[in-house]
Amino acid sequence: MDDTVSWLAFSDASESLYMRDDFRMAADHCGFPIPNGIPGIGPGDTVHFTAPVTVAANGSQLIELFFYGFHVDPLGADTIIKVHGKTFQFRFSDGSVVTVRP
């Protein structure tokens, strides 16, 4: 059975990290980059997709989940921190969880 997701929650991180610059599910940029003066997406926050993304059953389709970097400052006043070496977790609207570890 196909699965459709419409949001993901940034549910866990090894430190306070905020996405500001580039995040996309498939081709949907989901409101990124975030304009100056607005806090980035951090632990406990939710990213809503512009339109729901449907993933075909049985692994017959590849959907790209792309994120470039994080900031320690929610407003992005610091430099970008590469995600390499960081542990964090996303929970999708269908209940599935993806954990990224170094």
> Do 65 and 49 contact (CB within 8 A), yes or no?
no
Q: What is the pLDDT of residue 102?
A: 67
User: Three-state SS for 41?
Assistant: strand
Q: What is the pLDDT of residue 29?
A: 75
| pTM, 2 dp | 0.73
- Please state the φ and ψ torsions of residue 57, each to the nearest 5 degrees: -70, 160
One digit per residue, the tens of pLDDT, for the chain of length 102 reads 888 888 888 877 766 788 887 777 777 777 788 888 888 888 888 888 888 888 877 766 677 777 777 888 889 888 887 777 777 888 889 998 888 876
Q: Render pLDDT for 12-25 as a digit per residue (tens, 0 to 9).
A: 776 678 888 777 77
